[in-house]
Structure formats: structure tokens, C-alpha cells
Amino acid sequence: MMKPLLLFLTFCGLCFGDPERIPVWPGEKAPDGQGGETPATTTLTVHQAEQPNGVAVIICPGGGYGGLVTDGEGHGIARWLNSHGITGLVLEYRLPQGKNKVPLLDAQRAIRLARSHAKDWKIDPARLGIIGFSAGGHLASTAATHFDSGDAKAKDPVDRFSSRPDFAMLIYPVITMTEPGHGGSRNNLLGPDPSKELIEEYSSEKRVTAKSPPAFLAHAKDDAVVVPKNSELFVAALKAHRVENEYLELPDGGHGLNGYKGPSWDAWQAASLKWLEKIGMLKQEVSAASKFIPSGDPQVLAGISPLNWIRNAKGIHSSVCGADFKFAFVGTKRVVLNVDTSKLGYSSPLRFPILAWTVNKGPVQTHQLAAGERELLLSDSAANPVINLYIKGLSPFEDRFTGEVPPNAVSITGFTVAAKCRLTVPATAPLWLNVGDSILSGDAAAYSGSQGRPPDDEWAASDDARASYGHLLAEHYGYRESRLAFGGYAWGGGLGHNPELAALVDQITSTKSRLTGEKLQPCPQVVLVNLGENGAPKAETVIAGLTKLRGRCSPETRIVVMVPVSGRARDEVSAAVNAYLQGTEDKQTRLVDLGAVRFETADGQHPTAAGHEAIYKAALPFFDKLLK
């Protein structure tokens, strides 16, 4: 019964909510290209953007022609495309299983099918491309080198449309069936002993002509599974035939680009969008009727996370991993973030800060700032976008404290929006302040278990501020998090010229840019302090820090000092906190020791995202008693 329903949806357009999964072939059987048929299992999942701009992309997941990676290389890509107004069409193609032509037949049919439903799916049939990853990249490159203009006399109206994609994007693709290619993909597609003719036919670098569509390729230098030579061969063939192309050689990431995240993953996505603009596929409608909302606007100041942004006439600035803002931009689709990178003095481009954001609670997008950069497009298609942006990663080594505005802070000068845009701030929750070191900051949380300590230039890429157990706790109990957590920090100070805790708290409440009447404003209802991982503190340093913190908060603020989860400095931290409690009448400060907690780490010290989740769950019973 499912097949007739799906066919009905195909021929009447998408009647129900997107995404919708539809069959690519009519009936129960599909041609195998060898005179026979196989079960018609091929499907196309249509992900329509909220405000489609006419561009659509057929998405071919990888899997070595032995399976399909439909999440990270399929539906996840569709959601990313949707965030830029592009319709994503996830193709779940048939696997060869001895019939080498079936994946290509499926891709060609999907392209024709999309064009036949251009009106229903709100796409421009002249702006339909294909993207593929790994073996899916080989399929995409095959579709880009094997196509026809359609058969005007075909009985099936779908077959009357062209199968030529208007552009191709190939990400760490398998290209050749010769030696530099991927043996597993070749065996699954062509069999263990293919003829020279078959190898020639499916080596895409040998099939390029002047009529091949423009192509964008990205490949990591350290990909040992599908070596970069694949992309290089295809680019050379495109250049030889004077076909528009762009090749992005990524510095690292291996095959799969660190599991579809990190700077290299972000880099190909950003570069591919710029390339689509360059070749005229993405047509940005930039209205002359725009305006600039400065970061000193009262609504902007109301929407930033308190206590970790510095405010002055030039903008808002933060050197804290996890600092964020949340704004609703009413009356615009396009939001451009204006930044000032002139004061960033990082020794390597890989050390520059990494920003992350969501639009209307959609997929997380990330971008690493670069020297000289002034603008960052946050949204270009969603109506009235609600944008939640945070600093995802920062290098711990550079100066993040000296002066009114630290030299390596993220500096935001404002937003460029439509002239009629109105900025509003969604309702905010009570405040929870986290104070800690690289662990609470989320350093290395983007790494996998036992991946190792990040190289000095790659700490920013290893960070995931929102994975921090401190953020998870604040979110669980219904608070908005603010954070003062720095890599290498300790009770007595640390990396980045950060001073001891007492001076750090004093700086927040007494400088010109953060002048708040000697009190933390707004006052946090909960403060979590977790320090000691980077060295056992002196008792007087802990007592001074807690005394200052209590003086800057209200008497009702609950201050929770947690022994480092590794157990380091347990005795010294516990003794110092108890000494403070014995010498004061502070009834709202508590010492918490989780005891032995098993958690996954990247390098034996820094928790992965799964490790933070384990710490968070271990802490819940303690915080339930304190906060409920």
C-alpha cells in the first residue's frame, strides 16, 4: 500500500510536511542497465527550505558502494543546505551488487525527476546540482560526466528531461578506478577483476569533456582512505577542458573530515557557498534598503550573555569560550554579523576563534574567523530569524585579559539587516555563572575518545563550549549560562594573563567597560566554581576568591565549589573551602565532591562530549539536593 501513496505524493507535489520520502522509479521494478530489472528501492527525500531560493542539490551519500551514510552525508547536508535557502534532495540509491550501472541510473533518474517537479518543489531547473561524498562523490562525478538532454519522445514524461547537473560538488571523492582510487569502492562497483574498458568507463577523470558542468572539490591532505590524488586528477581534467572548477585542499581532517565537524568541515561548506555565488547559482538579493544595528543598541546589550562581554563605544568583545547572544530579527531574512578582527594577533590562522550559531533552532553552523574579515553571513533565507550565536572555540595561549579589551577578544561591531528590521530579545532565564578551567570551558570536547592532546595550533578546533557539563547543568535546571572559564586557569591565575580568582571577579565589576556598581549585574542565582585541575591552590588564595565572589553576589546566591572531577587537588581544595566556611557565616556556599567518576577523555585529561555527559549525569543527584 505504501507505493501508491508515495506515487500520489510524487505526482501532486509535496502535500504534507517536509521532508518527504518518495520513490524514484514508478512501479515495483527498476532497470539494471543490462537488460534486466531489480526491485525499485531507490528513494529521494525532499528537504525544502523555509524560504527556497530556487537552487536544489541531489545529495549522494558515501559508503563504498556497500552501504549508505545517510545521516552525516545525507540528511545532515540537506539541513545545512536548507539553512541557506537551498532545497536538499537525499538520494538513497541502489547498491551495485554485481550490476555496475544501477547507481548511475538512479542518479540520472533523480535529476530528471527533480526537473519534472521543479514547479511543485519551488526549484529552478537550471540551478539543479549534485553533491557527493567519498563513493557518493564518485557517483556524483559519474553523473557529471555521463548525461544526456532527455528523450523528447519518451512515454515516461520524466525521461524527457535532461540528466545533466548544472554543477557538481565533490567532497573527498573517489574519482578513479585505477591505482590511486579506493579498492573497496572499485570492487563493490565493478567486481574483483574488471576489464580495462570498464575501468576506463568509470574513471571519471577520463570522461570529462568541455560540456561537463562546473565542479567544486574539497579533499584533506591527510586523507589516507581516499587519497587526494583522486580530486587532483579530476581537477586536472577539468582544467584541460577549460571547465569552471575550484579545488579546496584542506590541511587536515582525514577521510570524513573529523566526523563531519571542525575547521576543515566548516571550510569546505563556506567555500562551496561562495563558489555557488561566483558561478551565479546562488543569487543573493541584497537590498539597498538596509540598515546597521550597532552593538551598543540597548536590545543588543539585553540579549548578550551577561558578565562575559566587554562593552565600549567600538562594540562588544569577549575572550570567553561559551559567551553567547540570542536575538530575534523581525522583518528581515538576511542578517550579516559585522566583526573587527584587526586586533587579533594569533600566530597561526588555525588559532583564530571559532563561532557557532543556529537559525530558528536549525542545525549548528560554524565559522573560524580570519585576519582581515569584517562580515559573516548568519542568515539569508529564513523569515524573522531567531539567531543564537556563541564562541565555540578559542586558543588558550594568547593574551585574553590585559587591558580594557583583551587583544585577542572576539569583537562584534553590529549587524546589517533590512531597513524595516526590528531587533527583539527572547525571554531570558535566571543566571547561572560557571567559573573554571579548560575542562569546564569544553576544550577538546569536539575530539573523540583517545584522539590525543590537541596540537598547540588546534585547540580552538578541539573546543565545543556547549558540550561542557557546566552548560548542561545550567540548561537542565532552567538557567541561562554565563561563563568565566579559561584554558590553563587555576585559583591563582593561569594562561592568557588571567589573574587569580579574586582579581578576575574584581575586574568584571569595577572596570569602565563592565562598571556595575561593584556588584555582578545581573546577579547570578547559582555560581559553580571548579578549579584545581591545573595545580593545588593555597588556602589563602581560595579564601580570597570565595570572599570576593560572595561580596560581588547577593547573600542568596548559591555558590557551589566542586572538587576537580579527576580528583586532582581534592585535599587542598576541600581543606581551603572548609576553612573559608568555618571563618564566615556564609550559609549558601557548598563543597561538592562527586568522588570517582568514569568519563571518556580525548587525552587522559580533557573530557569528550560523551565524557561531559557522564560528568553531568554524575552531578545531578548532588545538585538536585542543593537546588530543588
In this predicted model, what pLDDT tens digit does every residue of 154-174 receive, in sequence order?
Answer: 999 999 999 999 999 999 999
User: How many whole angstroms separate alpha carbon 396 and alpha carbon 206?
Assistant: 48
Q: Is the peptide bond before 564 cis (omega within 30 degrees of 0)?
A: no
Strand partners, 432: 481, 526
- Provide φ and ψ at 33, rounded to 5°: 80, 0
> Is 161 strand, coil or helix?
coil
Q: What is the CA radius of gyration of the chain?
A: 27
Please answer whether residues 42 and 106 qualify as being in contact, where contact means their C-beta atoms are separated by less than 8 angstroms: yes
Nearest residue to 483 (alpha-carbon basis) of 502, 508, 461, 457:
508
- Cell numbers 552525508 label which residue? 73
User: How many whole angstroms separate alpha carbon 332 and alpha carbon 419?
Assistant: 8
Please answer whether residues 319 and 400 qualify as being in contact, where contact means their C-beta atoms are separated by less than 8 angstroms: yes
DSSP 74: I
| Domain spans of the chain, in order of start | 42-278, 290-424, 431-627
User: How many whole angstroms separate alpha carbon 505 and alpha carbon 518?
Assistant: 10
Give the DSSP H/E element, type plus range, for residue 368: strand 365-368
Please answer whether residues 457 and 393 qualify as being in contact, where contact means their C-beta atoms are separated by less than 8 angstroms: no
All three cell numbers of 214, joined, read 562546473
Q: What is the pLDDT at residue 589?
A: 97
Task: Please enumerate in sequence order all residues whose Cβ is within 8 A of that of 373, keeping only pairs 6 or more positions apart, or say none.
Answer: 339, 341
**Long-range residue pairs from 477-480, CB within 8 A, at least 24 positions apart, any chain:** 477/432, 477/526, 477/623, 477/627, 478/429, 478/430, 479/429, 479/430, 479/431, 479/432, 479/525, 479/526, 480/305, 480/428, 480/429, 480/430, 480/431, 480/432
User: How many whole angstroms separate alpha carbon 341 and alpha carbon 352?
Assistant: 10
Strands (E) located in 172-241? 215-220
User: How many whole angstroms separate alpha carbon 413 and alpha carbon 293?
Assistant: 9
Nearest residue to 529 (alpha-carbon basis) of 566, 490, 568:
490
Work out the widest C-alpha separation in the chain, in whole angstroms: 93
Q: At what angle do helices 135-143 and 183-190 cross, to 10 degrees?
A: 60
Q: Which residue blocks in 117-195 are alpha helix, DSSP H?
A: 118-121, 135-143, 183-190
Please answer whether residues 30 and 103 qualify as being in contact, where contact means their C-beta atoms are separated by less than 8 angstroms: no
431-627: same fold as 42-278? Answer: yes
CA 451 from centre of chain = 19
In CATH, which superfamily holds the domain spanning 290-424?
Galactose-binding domain-like (2.60.120.260)
Q: What is the pLDDT at residue 402?
A: 80
User: How many whole angstroms separate alpha carbon 149 and alpha carbon 402?
Assistant: 64
- The DSSP line for 476-491 is HTT-EEEEEE-TTEET
Q: What is the pLDDT at residue 514?
A: 60
Please answer whether residues 202 and 142 qualify as being in contact, where contact means their C-beta atoms are separated by less than 8 angstroms: yes
How far CA 144 is from CA of 148, 240, 414, in Å, comes to 10, 16, 42
Nearest residue to 549 (alpha-carbon basis) of 531, 570, 565:
531
Nearest residue to 89 (alpha-carbon basis) of 127, 142, 135, 134:
127
> How would you class 498 by CB atoms within 10 Å of its CB: exposed for 0-12, middle for 13-18, buried for 19 or more?
buried
Q: Are strands 245-250 and 215-220 parallel, antiparallel or unpaired?
A: parallel
> Is 463 strand, coil or helix?
coil
Task: Please enumerate in sequence order all residues whose Cβ is within 8 A of that of 173, keeping only pairs 6 or more positions apart, or say none.
Answer: 132, 133, 134, 136, 137, 138, 140, 141, 217, 219, 226, 230, 231, 234
First to last CA, the chain: 52
Q: What is the pLDDT at residue 50?
A: 86
For residues 292-324, one letter each, b for 16 or more C-beta atoms within 10 angstroms of the residue's C-beta and e for the rest, the string is: ebebeeeebeebbbbbbbbbeeebbbbbbbbbb
Residues 9, 11, 15: CA angle, nearest 5 degrees: 35
Topology classification of domain 431-627: Rossmann fold (3.40.50)
Q: Are strands 290-294 and 410-418 parallel, antiparallel or unpaired?
A: antiparallel
User: How many whole angstroms separate alpha carbon 467 and alpha carbon 459?
Assistant: 15
- The DSSP line for 246-274 is EEEEESS-TTTHHHH-SHHHHHHHHHHHH
Q: What is the pLDDT at residue 361?
A: 86
Topology classification of domain 42-278: Rossmann fold (3.40.50)
DSSP 174: -
Q: Which residue numbers in the chain have pLDDT < 70?
A: 1-17, 284-288, 511-517
